[in-house]
Amino acid sequence: MANSINRRNWIKSSALMAGGLVFISGTMNKLAAMPGVRKMIPAAKLVTDQSAILDAPPVLKARLLANENPFGPSPAAKKAIQDAIDLSYQYPMQQTATLYGKIADYEGISQSNILMDAGSSPLLLAAALLYSKGGKSIITGDPSYEDLPSHAEKFEGKWVKVPLTAEYKLDLDAMEAKIDGNTGLIYICNPNNPTGTVLDTVKLKAFCERVSKKVPVFIDEAYIDYLPDPQGTTLISSVKAGQNVIVARTFSKLYGFAGLRCGYIVAQPETIKALSIYTTGFSLSATTVAGAIAGYRETEFLQEAFKKTMASKEYLYSVLKKEGYTYIPSATNFVMFPLKMDGKQFVQEMMKRGVGIRNWKLNGQEWCRVSIGRMDEMEAFADAFKQLS
């Protein structure tokens, strides 16, 4: 009991962005106190209603609420982490440079195109601060991942929300039409969280080529590793073509590193410099770096995790169909479907049965987002769901 209370307080006072959890941290308050940063942030104010998640018991039968990958990290990454502990009294400068080098080599870019941090969240915050300075606006889809624009709004920025298309995809034309003299950034989450939909690559590339001449375009590719052809889909190609495009990637999803914290952005060297002012450049741990070096592009392991995720997703689809529900076909490790009862109540009832999921309200309709877990977790979801549907 005491443990769970301590854990809850600790979570509340930390910066934690996991599949949509957004909390205010001490760091944020320090930043808010900096000159030029207009608004002070109320301590522990939740941006979205996450009370169901905070009240979740530490151990769930099925933890399907933060789009994590329960099949990772890989055995090789775990071994490298263990092996790194002895030397972890040292700052990991050389090892971090090795990791930068591995990513640069694989992507065919220079290390000056890369900025790493403890997950992509601190880099989303850096972009929010830089591009909303002076009251600029951030254009996003609605709903989409709220981390970057909600940070911008807490400081000086404005948030311009553009509804999704009828297929629950980002509406690129409508987003482009919203650009005006006050636009600081366009944020594109592709694939989109929470809907799991993906944009047409040719259309998105053309959009970036056109729009990045007017305003920077931020492409959040947190879930790109779940697509059949990430290399053919990534907008790193637009960065390579010299465009003002920033691509965010994370080890938190298919690599299974959410708790280890490792992410990066790829952009033009001058953009990397401008964004690095808002980061410490020194937040990756020796253990995380060792794990990331061992796990990066570990193709066989990643394919295996991908296959298991797809099998669990197919099972979830079949359960939903059998119970008479529809869903948005997902390109990711989470699925959104319309509920037939109050979303908050549904989350609470599922939580009582040991299953953690999330709810959304969209166009007056209640929705549930289920992360894809192990098969036993999906079966636990199915058992609890059948009792409520």
Ligand X SMILES: Cc1ncc(COP(=O)(O)O)c(C=O)c1O
* Site residues (vs ligand X, CB under 6 A): 17-19, 67, 119-121, 145, 189, 193, 220, 222, 250, 252, 258, 263
Separation of alpha carbons 348 and 52, rounded Å: 7
Under 8 Å between Cβ of 382 and 87:
no
Instruction: CB nearer to ligand X: give 145 or 367.
Output: 145
| Angle between helical axes of 75-84 and 286-295 (0-180°, round to 10) | 150
Instruction: CB nearer to ligand X: give 188 or 293.
Output: 188
Instruction: CB nearer to ligand X: give 132 or 252.
Output: 252
Instruction: CB nearer to ligand X: give 63 or 382.
Output: 63
- Count CA atoms within 13 Å of residue 350 on its CB side: 32
Under 8 Å between Cβ of 186 and 215:
yes
Q: How far is the CB of 223 from ligand X (least distance, A)?
A: 7
- Side by side, the strands of the sheet bearing 183-189 are 114-117, 263-266, 245-250, 217-220, 183-189, 137-142, 158-163
Instruction: CB nearer to ligand X: give 50 or 319.
Output: 50
Q: How far is the CB of 249 from ligand X (least distance, A)?
A: 8
Under 8 Å between Cβ of 61 and 355:
yes
Residue nearest to ligand X (CB): 119
Q: How far is the CB of 67 from ligand X (least distance, A)?
A: 5
Instruction: CB nearer to ligand X: give 258 or 382.
Output: 258
- Which two structure tokens, joined as six digits, stand for 346? 């549904």
What is the helix (H) or strand (E) element at residue 151, kind and residue range?
Answer: helix 147-154
Residues constituting the chain: 389
Q: How far is the CB of 266 from ligand X (least distance, A)?
A: 14
Strands 245-250 and 137-142: unpaired
Q: How far is the CB of 18 from ligand X (least distance, A)?
A: 5
Q: How far is the CB of 86 from ligand X (least distance, A)?
A: 27
- Smallest CA-to-CA distance from 30 within 261, 273, 278 is with 278
Q: How far is the CB of 185 from ligand X (least distance, A)?
A: 15
Instruction: CB nearer to ligand X: give 226 or 384.
Output: 226
Backbone angles phi, psi at 212, to 5 degrees: -70, -10
